[in-house]
Amino acid sequence: MEMIEVEDYQEMSRVASQFIIEKVQLLDNPVLGLATGSTPEGVYKQLIEKRKQGNVSFANTSTFNLDEYVGLDGDDPNSYRYYMNEKLFSHIDIPGENTRVPNGMKKDLEQECGQYEQLIKEKQGIDLQMLGIGLNGHIGFNEPGTSLQTRTHVVELAQSTRKANARFFDSLEEVPEQAITMGIETIMASREIILLVSGERKAEALDRLLNGPVTEDFPASILQTHPNVKIIADRAARSLMKK
């Protein structure tokens, strides 16, 4: 894992968006893996800005999001499909059909998971996957205890994750109990990964990622075994790192 030290959230967002733009400009049909949450919001703002300036086109880009809540449809402001449309897709020139987010409204969720894997395969896999990290080490919605051999699957969300995400909902009760997520193996199959870490509250998770053992108890630790991972971490997130 390569560590890229940045000063703050702004710089993290700029550096990460630059990696994404370089990939999009380099490849004929780039395939990006995208995340939601607070961490990538600044990256999406940068990408929109760069698109507006005419520096990059996403016309040939395909995207796969990491995860989606079960039971929320794309019009629900708390769904990840809605988030992606609002924060990125509606503001750039990517064709709608090239943007994929798991569909948590499908009757047969297992089938949806299988189809999602199939679609990724048809696109020859993900060129660049962007990740955030949960306080408990989750990536996507792969919570501690998830087998490291999983593909896209349905998960029960940890209570701590529901609490952490309740800030976006009116109450904790409204946070769905299940989600669809790319599995650890799906994420690990990406050719390149950038993991974004910002803020003091993530410092412990970053320390454990860098110095802890590879274990299902801390899913992000598996990234230690991926050949091409860049961690972009700001000063606050690095506050527990040994000098």
Nearer to ligand F6R, 92 or 157 (CB): 157
- In angstroms, the CA 192 to CA 199 distance is 24
Catalytic residue chosen out of the listed positions 65, 98, 136, 142: 136
218: which DSSP letter? B
Whether residue 177 lies in the annotated active site: no
Catalytic residue chosen out of the listed positions 65, 68, 98, 138: 138
CA distances, 21 to each of 5, 58, 94, 189 (Å): 19, 9, 13, 21
Q: Return the closest-CA partner of residue 206 out of 100, 114, 135, 150.
A: 135
139 binds ligand F6R (CB under 6 A): yes
159 binds ligand F6R (CB under 6 A): no
Whether residue 67 lies in the annotated active site: yes
Q: Element (H or E) spanning 22, and its range?
A: helix 9-26
Whether residue 91 lies in the annotated active site: no
Q: Return the closest-CA partner of residue 30 out of 55, 4, 2, 64.
A: 64
Catalytic residue chosen out of the listed positions 65, 67, 112, 153: 67
Catalytic residue chosen out of the listed positions 143, 153, 165, 234: 143
Choose, by CB under 6 A, the member of 23, 138, 153, 208 that binds ligand F6R.
Answer: 138
When CB distances to ligand F6R are compared, the closest residue is 132
Smallest distance from ligand F6R to CB 28, Å: 27
Choose, by CB under 6 A, the member of 66, 72, 94, 205 that binds ligand F6R.
Answer: 66
Sign of CA dihedral 89, 94, 96, 97: negative
Q: Kindly list the residues in this chain that would bind ligand F6R in the complex (CB under 6 A).
A: 35-39, 66-67, 132-134, 138-140
